[in-house]
């Protein structure tokens, strides 16, 4: 089956699915394979559940009488279909990546743009070689603009995704110590994320640049730029100061003060990027202000949870050394007695224990009232338990500890990598 034939089938469907646990009616099912599953085995089930067509890559499952069609490689076919669909689209697409803050920035941009346009944006963590094609294939004739997030943990992944998305605009939030194992170090991270810049430069597209970030300014030389930041010469002079309270500082553009409910001064640049995007696409400034001020973080990302005796900042969506240090430094500025519960950071390679030790020492330097370190990596570092610092090998151990204690600290930060599932600790605080 060639791409034109595949596309003609796609146009008859409402959407594309890869999971038989969720098969919408009139969808197109792609039978993907992984280490522990073979989607080909579920093609017939997908058709019976309501899929119009199933695409398989093992001949024995082909059955054209049941609208089940064979291709050599279903993942490759999914990606080529998405790219083919992209060529048919005539709307601006913004692609963004970065070590920290990309999901928050994507959602802020989407909130702002949605005040004027019908926007399609990446849902959840659909930001990889499977999620991005699925996102592109959700774009329909009613959409007027798209915001697509790109994640990566190896070199050349952003290059691949950029060529798949073919964005008209791009933005890199920052460079940090994320996925060091795959990228081989911070320089690898910079090189990998900059693959978006390479695409934009080679294809004469446009980049949004935080002019406060010298590295981003340096690496975007030669690309058509839209600059924003604490700089009167920027295209959009968007001013904010250091936050003394730990909250996101007030953002000012043309005498308009925008107050974000987000925690953390590190979110100021995320807000500023969304403002710049909104202004570029001629969203009214008052509507931009409204979109920023009504946005509330959820899904375990800097989520503020008010309990009877505690305020918990839940940041269990992900973690790396850069985001961990920023969160801790910001948390220290908050008022009241403070407790931090930190979970392991993953994909750090040879730097794993060193980076965990640096973060543990940072918590001590900042003088928190109570420090709980959770996971095998933190448990292995050469730092003895102290009165205010305790190490736990597993999340279950810290759950038992919380159940046995009366927690007196008023403000609590919970942060760790997704695999630690630290949001489950919420069940062990009295509501």
What whole-number distance in Å separates Cα of residue 187 and Cα of residue 180? Answer: 9
- Hey, what are 383's tokens? 């730092």
What are the strands, taking DSSP E only, across 122-268? 145-149, 169-172, 206-210, 224-229, 236-237, 251-253, 256-258
The per-residue pLDDT for 181 is 86
Q: How many CB atoms lie within 10 A of CB 257?
A: 9
CATH code matching the domain that covers 3-76, chosen among 3.40.50.300, 3.40.1390.10, 3.40.640.10, 3.40.50.720: 3.40.1390.10
What whole-number distance in Å separates Cα of residue 53 and Cα of residue 337? Answer: 58
Find the helix or strand (DSSP H, E) in which 56 lies.
strand 53-56
The per-residue pLDDT for 178 is 86
Q: Which of 119, 101, 113, 121 is nearest to 270 (CA)?
A: 101
The per-residue pLDDT for 40 is 96
Annotated binding residue at 99?
yes
The per-residue pLDDT for 34 is 87
Enumerate the domain spans of the chain: 3-76, 89-293, 303-428
Annotated binding residue at 98?
yes
The secondary structure of residue 184, as a DSSP letter, is T
The per-residue pLDDT for 125 is 85
CATH code matching the domain that covers 89-293, chosen among 3.40.50.410, 2.60.120.310, 3.40.1190.10, 3.30.2350.10: 3.40.1190.10
The per-residue pLDDT for 386 is 76
**Which residue carries 């959820």 as its tokens?**
298
Annotated binding residue at 424?
no
Q: Which of 311, 310, 333, 162 is nearest to 243 (CA)?
A: 333
Q: How many CB atoms lie within 10 A of CB 407?
A: 16
Annotated binding residue at 184?
no
Phi, psi of 304 (to 5 degrees): -95, 120
Mean pLDDT per 10-residue segment, the chain (431 residues): 96 94 93 92 95 97 96 98 97 96 96 98 94 98 98 95 98 92 90 97 98 96 96 93 80 94 91 98 98 88 84 91 94 92 95 95 94 96 83 96 89 95 91 68
Q: In the beta sheet, which residues pair with residue 253?
A: 256
Burial bucket for residue 391 (CB in 10 Å: 0-12, 13-18, 19+): buried
What whole-number distance in Å separates Cα of residue 236 and Cα of residue 273? Answer: 10
Tell me the HSE value of 41 on the side-chain side, using a 13 A CA sphere. 5
What whole-number distance in Å separates Cα of residue 226 and Cα of residue 404? Answer: 54
Query: Which fold is adopted by the domain 303-428?
Result: 3.90.190
At residue 348's C-alpha, the angle toward residues 343 and 350, to 5°, is 125
The per-residue pLDDT for 303 is 86
- With H, G, I as helix, E, B as strand and everything else as coil, classify residue 126: coil
The per-residue pLDDT for 243 is 73
Annotated binding residue at 104?
yes
């Amino acid at each position: 089956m060639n791409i034109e034939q595949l596309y003609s089938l796609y146009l008859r469907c409402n959407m594309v699915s890869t999971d038989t646990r969720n098969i919408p009616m009139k969808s197109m099912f792609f039978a993907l394979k992984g280490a522990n599953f073979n989607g080909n085995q579920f093609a017939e089930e997908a058709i019976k559940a309501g899929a119009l067509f199933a695409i398989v890559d093992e001949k024995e499952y082909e059955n054209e009488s049941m609208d089940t069609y064979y291709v050599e490689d279903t993942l490759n076919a999914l990606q080529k279909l998405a790219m083919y669909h992209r060529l048919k689209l005539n709307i601006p697409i913004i692609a963004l990546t970065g070590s920290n803050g990309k999901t928050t920035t994507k959602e802020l941009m989407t909130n702002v743009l949605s005040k004027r346009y019908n926007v399609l944006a990446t849902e959840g963590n659909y930001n990889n070689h499977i999620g991005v094609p699925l996102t592109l294939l959700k774009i329909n004739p009613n959409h007027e603009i798209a915001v697509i997030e790109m994640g990566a943990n190896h070199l050349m992944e952003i290059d691949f995704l950029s060529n798949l998305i073919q964005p008209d605009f791009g933005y890199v939030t920052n460079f940090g110590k994320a996925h060091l194992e795959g990228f081989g170090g911070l320089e690898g991270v910079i090189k990998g994320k900059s693959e978006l810049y390479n695409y934009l430069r080679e294809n004469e597209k446009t980049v949004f640049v935080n002019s406060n970030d010298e590295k981003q300014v340096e690496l975007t030389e030669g690309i058509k730029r839209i600059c924003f930041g604490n700089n009167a010469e920027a295209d959009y002079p968007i001013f904010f100061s250091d936050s003394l309270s730990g909250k996101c500082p007030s953002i000012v553009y043309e005498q308009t003060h925008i107050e974000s409910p987000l925690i953390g001064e590190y979110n100021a640049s995320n807000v500023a990027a969304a403002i710049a995007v909104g202004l570029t696409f001629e969203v009214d400034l008052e509507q931009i202000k409204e979109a920023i001020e009504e946005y509330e973080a959820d899904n375990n990302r800097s989520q503020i949870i008010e309990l009877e005796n505690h305020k918990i900042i839940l940041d269990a969506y992900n973690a790396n050394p850069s985001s961990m240090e920023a969160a801790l430094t910001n948390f220290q500025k908050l008022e009241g007695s403070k407790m931090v519960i930190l979970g392991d950071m993953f994909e750090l390679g040879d730097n794993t224990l060193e980076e965990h030790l640096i973060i543990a020492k940072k918590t001590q330097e900042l003088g928190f009232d109570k420090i709980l370190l959770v996971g095998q990596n933190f448990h292995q570092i050469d730092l003895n338990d102290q009165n205010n610092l305790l190490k736990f090998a597993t999340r279950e151990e810290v759950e038992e500890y919380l159940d046995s204690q009366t927690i007196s600290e008023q403000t609590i930060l919970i942060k760790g990598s997704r695999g630690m599932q630290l949001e489950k600790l919420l069940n062990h605080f009295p509501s």
